[in-house]
Structure 1
C-alpha cells in the first residue's frame, strides 16, 4: 500500500471515529466554518430527511430582521416560560459559550447532550460532504443539532427560532412555523443579501409561509410594500406596527421603562421592560403582538400578570448592558448603522453622564462610515481597537475613517488607536472619571471578549 493510500485510509478512519468530548464536538462543528455561508436548503433538507424530519413535530415562532431579533426572542422565551410553557430557544451568535445557542427553558444544552447529538449527525454530515452537494456548513449542523435537541430530547411546547442570515435561503427556513416575526430591515450583510433595502426586505420576507400570520415592526415604506406584497401572495395575515397595532411610551428611566400596547384584539397597559433603549419598547410590542395572535388562534394562555412578569424578566447580554458600575461601563453590540443609531438614541434618552468614552472594533465587511456617523457625536474619546477575529478591520484604517468623518462633521473627538483590545479596555478604565460613562461597542466578537474580561468569565468560547 502506498503512503498516500495509507494516509487517506487513516483520514477516513479518523472521520468515522466518534467524537469523545464536548470540546471535540464543538471543534468539529466550528471546523466547518471554512465552508462559509452557502445559501440554499438542499443540504439541510437531506440532513433532516435522514433524521426522519424531526422538525415536523415542533411548533416554531420564526424571528427574522436586521436588529432586535435576539431581544425579541428573549421577550418571547421569558413570557412563555412565565406562562408555564416549556420553551426551546435557538439564537446566534453566542456571547459566551457555544452551548448558549441551544436553550431549553432558559438553560443551555448540557455538554454531554451536545456531544451525543453531534455524534448522531456526524456520519450523515460526512456522507453528504462526499456527495455533489458538498459539506454542510457550521450553521447547518448547528441548526440540525437544535432541531434534534428539541425534537428528541426536550419536547418544548414552543420553539423560539431565530434566523441566522436573511430568511428566504437561511437554513432555519426549513421549518413551517406557527407565526413569523420580522423586526426590521436595515443595512447589514448587503454583500450577501442584496444591494438595496428592497432586496434585503425580499430575503427577510422569505420566512413568510402560506397561511401563516406575520407580525412586523418594520417602518420604511419600501420595506412595508415588500412585506404586504409577500403576505398577500402567501394569503398570510400581516400585523404591522402603526397599522394593526401600536405602542405608546409612558416612561423611560435606566433599567425600567413602561408603555401602552394597542392591538386589534385588546389594549394592555402598563407593560414594563427592564432592557434599556427606546427600541426595546418596539421589540417588546412585537413580541406581545405575536403572543396575542397565538392567544387568539392557537389557544395560547397568557395572563396579564405573567405577561408583565415575563417582559420584566427578559435579559439579553451584550446589548445596552451595564457590565461595571465603578467605573461605569456599558456594552452594546452596535455593529451596523441601525444598531449605532439605537445606541446613540439610548445614550441621549436613558443615561446621564458628563463625558462618554467609547471603545470600538469592527469587522472589515461592515458599513463603517454610516456606523461611525452615529457614534462620533456622542463620543468625547474614541479608542479604536481590533476584535480577535480573522475578518477584523485594522484599527488604523477604522481610526482614519473616524478622524476624517469627525473633521467633516465639525466634531472634536479625541481618536486613539490601540489595536490590542485588552490594552484598549485598560485605557478606557483609566480615562473614565467620576460622572463619565465608558462604552464598548462594535462587533459582537469584541463584545464577547471584553465582556468576559470585565465580568471575569473564564469559559468564554465566543463566536457564531
Structure 2
C-alpha cells in the first residue's frame, strides 16, 4: 500500500515500461473484479486523430451550462497529471488518486501472474476513472476521450449514449496502419449497435470505412459537411464566429474563444451531440446553454495565447495534420509578424513533413531536446530542416528566458510539437512571462 501521492504517481508512471498494449481483455478482467463500474455510468465516447480534447471541452462546457456535473477522461495532461480524471474541469484530488491506486495495485499484481500480463499505464488510469466516476453520485455524465485508435482502446468497453469521431489523420501508423482507411477502421471500432455517431471525417476512403461500419452496426451517422453544415465563418481576434445548420435547425452567430477554423468543426460536433442528448430526453440542454457553453470553453495548449506583449503562443500540434492547421493559422493571422518557432517531437512521428511545413512559415526555428522516453533528438531535426535560420538547443529551460527577452515588438514566439513537451514547457513559460511583467 502506498502512503503518499508521489509514491502512487511513481507506480503509475512505472507502468510505462510495459508500453502500449492494445486489447480489451485486461480491462474486462479488471472491470469484472471491480463490479463492472463501466456499466454504471452514462457516457459519450470521443475518438479521432486531432480535436478530441477540444470536442470534449466544448461538450463539457455546454453540459455544465445546462446545470449538469460532468466527468471527463482525457490524455495527456498539460499542467498536472490529475487533469486526466476531472469533474467539471476540476482535476481529481491527490488523495482520491492515491486511494484509487491502492485499489488497483493488487489487481495489477494479480493480473501480472496471468497469461494476459500486467496492465499498461493507460489501462490502469482508465480503470481508475471508471471506478471513480461510477462511485461518485454527483456525476451525471462522463465524456471519455479515446487514448489510441478505438477498436482496441482501453476506453472501448463502454456502451455510450453517443459517439464522436473528430477526424482521421496519419498518426501512430506503426500501430494503427499506414493508410487513412486502415486508421479509420480502428477509429470506427468505437461505433456501437444503434448508437449514433457524429463525425467530421472528410477523407473519402476514411469516411467510406466509417459509413460501412455504421451501416453494419445500424448506427445513425451524422456527417459534418452533409448532415451538419457550417456557414458564415469569421475569425475574430480571440476566437471564431460561425453558424451551424443541423438536420432540424440552424444556430446563427455562434461564438467560440478557441482559435482556428478547425475548432468550429470540433464545436459543431459537440453541439450536435448535445442536441441529440436533448432531443432524446436524456438531458435538458437549451440553446442558451449551448451558446454560453461555447464561449466559456477553454482547453489549454491548443493555440493558446500566453501573452500579448510579447506575443507568445503554445500549440500542441503533435502530428502532420496538427502542424498543417497551425501553419495555416499563423499564415492567415500573423503574416506581418517575424515568427520564431520552438519545436520538439516524439520519435514515432512523421516529423520530416512537420518540419518542412514549419520551415515555410518560420523566420527562425529552434529544435530542442526534452526529457521523455520517446523524445526525438534535436540534431535529427536539424539534419532535416532546410531553414536558413535554425539551431539545436539541448537546455530549453535556459534558452527560453533569453529568447523572450530579445523578442521584438514585431515578432512572436510559437512553442509547438509534442503535447508531452507542451506540458513541460507551459509552466516554465508562464513563470518567465510573469517575471518579465513584474520587472517592467
Please say if 1:160 is aligned against 2:160.
Answer: no
Task: Tell me the secondary structure at the aligned position of residue 282 of structure 1.
Answer: helix
The offset of 1:428, in angstroms, is 2.8
CA distance in 2 between partners of 1:130 and 1:299 (Å): 42
Kept in 2, the 8 Å contact 1:333–1:447? The answer is yes
Match of 1:335 in 2: 318
The offset of 1:85, in angstroms, is 0.9
Kept in 1, the 8 Å contact 2:180–2:203? The answer is no
The offset of 1:340, in angstroms, is 0.3
Match of 1:395 in 2: 378
Task: Write the deviation string for residues 358-403 of structure 1: whole angstroms up to 9, x where unpaired.
Answer: 0111111110111123211110000111122122211111111012
The offset of 1:229, in angstroms, is 0.2
Task: Write the deviation string for residues 394-442 of structure 1: whole angstroms up to 9, x where unpaired.
Answer: 1111111012xx5xxxxxx411121222134234324421121110011
Please say if 1:112 is aligned against 2:59.
Answer: no
Match of 1:150 in 2: 133
More displaced stretch, 389-398 vs 170-179: 389-398
Q: CA RMSD in A?
A: 1.4
Q: What are the equivalent positions in structure 2 for 1:254-269 lying under 5 Å apart?
A: 254-269=237-252
Please say if 1:415 is aligned against 2:398.
Answer: no
Match of 2:436 in 1: none
CA distance in 2 between partners of 1:284 and 1:325 (Å): 25
Q: What are the equivalent positions in structure 2 for 1:136-215 lying under 5 Å apart?
A: 136-215=119-198
CA distance in 2 between partners of 1:230 and 1:45 (Å): 23
CA distance in 2 between partners of 1:266 and 1:112 (Å): 46
> 1:94/1:125 Cα in 2 relative to 1: closer, same or farther (>3 Å)?
same
Please say if 1:22 is aligned against 2:5.
Answer: yes
The offset of 1:352, in angstroms, is 5.8
CA distance in 2 between partners of 1:252 and 1:308 (Å): 17
Kept in 2, the 8 Å contact 1:387–1:443? The answer is no
Please say if 1:455 is aligned against 2:430.
Answer: yes
Kept in 2, the 8 Å contact 1:254–1:351? The answer is no
The offset of 1:188, in angstroms, is 0.7
More displaced stretch, 419-428 vs 200-209: 419-428
Match of 2:293 in 1: 310
When Rg is computed on C-alpha atoms for both structures, the one with the higher figure is 1
Task: Write the deviation string for residues 188-218 of structure 1: whole angstroms up to 9, x where unpaired.
Answer: 1001111111110000000000110000001
Kept in 1, the 8 Å contact 2:262–2:325? The answer is yes
Match of 1:66 in 2: 49
CA distance in 2 between partners of 1:373 and 1:248 (Å): 32
CA distance in 2 between partners of 1:352 and 1:79 (Å): 34
Kept in 2, the 8 Å contact 1:425–1:450? The answer is no
CA distance in 1 between partners of 2:262 and 2:102 (Å): 41
Q: Give the alignment partner of residue 428 of structure 1, picking from 403, 407, 421.
A: 403
Task: Tell me the secondary structure at the aligned position of residue 187 of structure 1.
Answer: coil
Total equivalences in the alignment: 432
Q: Give the alignment partner of residue 245 of structure 1, picking from 225, 228, 245.
A: 228
Task: List alignment gaps of at least 5 residues for structure 1.
Answer: 1-17, 407-412, 458-464
The offset of 1:353, in angstroms, is 4.0
Match of 1:290 in 2: 273
CA distance in 2 between partners of 1:400 and 1:426 (Å): 26
The offset of 1:255, in angstroms, is 1.1
Task: Tell me the secondary structure at the aligned position of residue 416 of structure 1.
Answer: strand
Please say if 1:382 is aligned against 2:368.
Answer: no
Task: Tell me the secondary structure at the aligned position of residue 265 of structure 1.
Answer: coil
CA distance in 1 between partners of 2:368 and 2:93 (Å): 35
CA distance in 1 between partners of 2:406 and 2:149 (Å): 39
Q: Give the alignment partner of residue 349 of structure 1, picking from 332, 336, 361.
A: 332
Task: Tell me the secondary structure at the aligned position of residue 253 of structure 2.
Answer: strand
* TM-score scaled by length of structure 2: 0.96
